[in-house]
Amino acid sequence: MAQKLPSRKVILKHFDLRDPVMAATIREKGAFKLSRNRNYFQVLCKAIIGQQISIKAAESITQRFQRLFQGHNPTPEKVAVISVAKLRQSGLSGQKVKYLKDLSVRFLDGSIRTHRLAYQTNEEVIEALTSVYGIGRWTAEMFLIFSLNRFDVLPVGDLGLKAGIKKIYNMRGLPSPKRMLALGKKWHPMETVATWYAWRIQDAEIITY
């Protein structure tokens, strides 16, 4: 189930104890704000669009993608019938168009059991979603963060998280997965909170899905 956002006091107490460097970033960047989007299909579309590209590029393609639906949210029904050419015009690669089409089919045929996801563990959700063509672990992790508001998600493959860690901890290069997992152990059970602040350190905009 989705949890209530932890208070600033609780967050700072945890990080002061476990990771003073991250605690300093949290103080600098202000309150933790994580929006929750219960439109599962929309969040997964946005996460697929954002795969392997910068936050800014993802934002502009997402806006063009949304405009295709003339002020309405994309739905499985609409994405299933919209032409490939139109989707490509929004800046999507041929591969991502295939992923979005497959996602809409999975929602329509019930193979993604949306009513179950909120009650499953992180790993169960990841397993269910990665069975869809084009959804990898990172996309499923974005879903856990932005649709289910899970606070213990560490997206080791996330480019923004890597760049944020490099900046916060003054590293010469991007952190290795091993280093990220070691940090994740310190942050547990608030890996998502630390990830959010690592994103904020590079981008003043609050990331939403």
Return the active site residues.
Answer: 158
3-state SS string for the chain: CCCCCCCHHHHHHHHHHHCHHHHHHHHHHCCCCCCCCCCHHHHHHHHHHCCCCCHHHHHHHHHHHHHCCCCCCCCHHHHHHCCHHHHHHCCCCHHHHHHHHHHHHHHHCCCCCHHHHCCCCHHHHHHHHCCCCCCCHHHHHHHHHHCCCCCCCCCCCCHHHHHHHHHHCCCCCCCCHHHHHHHHHHHCCCHHHHHHHHHHCCCCCCCCC
